[in-house]
Amino acid sequence: MFRINTVPPIIMSLFLQLNTDPVVHELYEKKMAPPNKPYYNRDVALVKMRKEHFAFHTEPLKVYPQIRETYTEKEKCDLTEVVIFSPEYCYIALPWASPYKEAIAIA
């Protein structure tokens, strides 16, 4: 049996509205919906990942640097990434010669 950590409940409800996958909704009902406690801060969740069967749902770009600094090479190799929600891509319409084009592309 494993436990799961996720984003704060208000954000999770928005993710669920966007996702039609029945497996994701079943996972939510069994592991994240009340009375489960699905939210831990990142530091606690990373420790739990090391010591327990624990899944941590977060933005990879936010957690990878912390994993790189604190996990051993073997611990890193033992991790598995499962995509629950596909990334949402955002676009901004800009005029062709906009001075903001490069700044937005970098951000």
| pLDDT for 4 beyond 80 | no
Would you state the structure tokens that stand for residue 47, as one six-digit string? 């420790």
pTM, two decimal places:
0.56
* pLDDT tens, position by position, 5-42: 556 666 667 777 777 888 878 877 787 777 777 677 88
Q: Which pLDDT belongs to residue 74? A: 93
* pLDDT tens, position by position, 53-77: 887 777 788 888 999 999 999 999 9
Where along the chain do its domains lie? 3-106
> Where is 54: in which H helix or E strand?
strand 54-56
> DSSP code of 99?
T
